[in-house]
Amino acid sequence: MAEYEPWNEARGAEIIAAHAGRDGAAIPILHALQDAFGCVPTPAIPLVADALNLTRAEVHGIVSFYHDFRSHPPGRHVLKLCRAEACQSLGADALAAHVRNRLKVDWHGTTKDGAVTLEPVFCLGLCAIGPAALMDDKPLGRLDAARVEAELEAAA
């Protein structure tokens, strides 16, 4: 699990400055902000716009285009469950329904206790050992309800 810093303008500006000189800096900057704060905080957007000589609308457009970028920090753990065809062929849809039911959240939701955020993902490259998932950065394969349960309990 990751520990995130609370938003801090000076820290945000420092992160942006560290990458602003790179060619095509926007995506690396947004990744770095999300790594630090768990999301791309709304107050960071004008800072990014300023650093890259873009409008706020343009930066918002970039942030909202990519599925990875969040506007709020996730739970203590992020479970990315694969929804793509290879995992479907091994029962991923039923597993996803079970997990959503068990966590009482829909896709992108965070459990009430803040333990887990559930994200859909279209392919993790673990298509030979589906259904697959990433719990934070830990790959999981051949998942069934019992294995997910064990991972969720370990994470709680």
Partner 1 sequence: MTRVFIPRDAAALALGADAVAAALAGHAAITRTGSRGLLWLEPMIEVETPQGRIAYGPVTARDVPELLSAGLLDGAPHRLRLGKPEDHPFLASQTRFTFARCGVIDPFSLADYQAQGGLKGLRRALALDPARIVDEVTKSGLRGRGGAGFPTGIKWKTTADAPGGKGGSQGGDQGAGQGGDQKYIVCNADEGDSGTYADRMLMEGDPFALIEGMAIAAIAVGATKGFVYTRSEYPHAIAAFNAALAIARREGVLGADVLGSGHAFDIEQRVGAGAYVCGEETSLLESLEGRRGQVRAKPPLPAHRGLFGKPTVVNNLITLASVPFVLAEGAEAYQAVGYGRSRGTMPIQLAGNVRHAGLFEAGFGLTLGEIVNDIGGGTLSGRPVRAVQVGGPLGAYFPPSLFDTPFDYEAFAAKDGLIGHGGVVVFDDTVDLAAQARFAMEFCAAESCGKCTPCRIGSVRGMEVIDRIMAGDRVDMHLELLTDLCHTLKFGSLCALGGFIPYPVMSALTHFPEDFRALQRVAAE
Binding site for partner 1 (CB under 8 A): 23-28, 30-31, 52, 61-62, 65-69, 80, 84-90, 121-130, 132, 134, 137-142
Per the rule left: phi > 0, alpha: psi between -120 and 50, beta: everything else, 120 is beta
DSSP string, 25-89: -HHHHHHHHHHHHSS--TTHHHHHHHHHT--HHHHHHHHHHSTT--SS---SEEEEEE-SHHHHT
CB of 68 to partner 1, least distance (A): 4
Distance between CA atoms of residues 16 and 34, nearest Å: 11
CB 154 to partner 1: min, Å: 13
Distance CA 97, CA 120 (A): 12
- Residue closer to partner 1 by CB (options 4, 120) is 120
Toward partner 1, which CB reaches closer, 13 or 129? 129
| Cβ proximity to partner 1, 30 vs 99, nearer residue | 30
Q: Which is nearer to partner 1, 90 or 115 (CB)?
A: 90
Query: Of 139, 84, 110, which is closest to residue 95 (Cα–Cα)?
Result: 84
Q: Nearer Cβ to partner 1, position 71 or 113? A: 71
Q: How far is the CB of 31 from partner 1 (least distance, A)?
A: 6
Q: How far is the CB of 84 from partner 1 (least distance, A)?
A: 3
For residue 153, count other CB atoms closer than 10 A to its CB.
8
Question: Smallest distance, Å, CB 125 to partner 1?
Answer: 4
